[in-house]
Amino acid sequence: MRASQASEHKAFGVAGGTAVPILKSLQTDDYWRKGIVEGKNTDAFVFDVDKTVGRDTDVLLKAEAGQKVESEVSEALKKYVANETSLEDALKKADEVINGTQSK
């Protein structure tokens, strides 16, 4: 795939060199290294990349779904802190409500 990419698009998501590329094969490329701030230590962004967590672990939710998760987890923690239920039970119920297997 990389071989077929045009030079100006090879670091997708890094237009103008303003971010670290998502492809490990581009970690030494001047396209992004000089675009951030020339002369700065860009090695810090790619140091020991085999032990870092990439953006593929981010969870992107629609606002409505995110609000539901936030609300249910908050409610679960309140019930736990108030000694109304165990943390495990509170989070289990929140999980079931969030996933639609139980009503509030």
Examine residue 103 and state whether it is found in any structural domain, yes or no: no
Examine residue 72 and state whether it is found in any structural domain, yes or no: yes
* pLDDT at position 5: 45
Instruction: Give the pLDDT confidence of 29-52 residue by residue, as tens digits.
Output: 777 777 666 677 777 777 776 766
Examine residue 11 and state whether it is found in any structural domain, yes or no: yes
How far are the Cα atoms of 54, 56, 81 from residue 32, in angstroms, in the given order?
A: 17, 20, 47
Q: Please state the rounded mean pLDDT for residues 71-88.
A: 95
Judge contact between 73 and 93, C-beta under 8 A: no
Residue 10 shares a structural domain with residue 37: yes
Residue 49 shares a structural domain with residue 91: no
Residue 41 shares a structural domain with residue 10: yes
Judge contact between 1 and 22, C-beta under 8 A: no
Q: Which residue has the tokens 């303003």?
A: 18
User: What mean pLDDT value characterizes the chain?
Assistant: 74
Does residue 16 come out as left (phi exceeding 0), alpha (psi in the -120 to 50 range) or beta? left
Q: Please give the structure tokens belonging to residue 44.
A: 């810090």
Examine residue 104 and state whether it is found in any structural domain, yes or no: no
Residue 12 shares a structural domain with residue 47: yes
SS3 state of residue 79: helix
Instruction: Give the pLDDT confidence of 16-26 residue by residue, as tens digits.
Output: 556 677 777 77
Tally of domains in the chain: 2
Q: How confident is the model at residue 84 (pLDDT cuts 50, 70, 90)?
A: very high
Residue 46 shares a structural domain with residue 73: no
Domain that holds residue 90: 63-98
Examine residue 80 and state whether it is found in any structural domain, yes or no: yes
Q: Is the pTM of this model over 0.75?
A: no
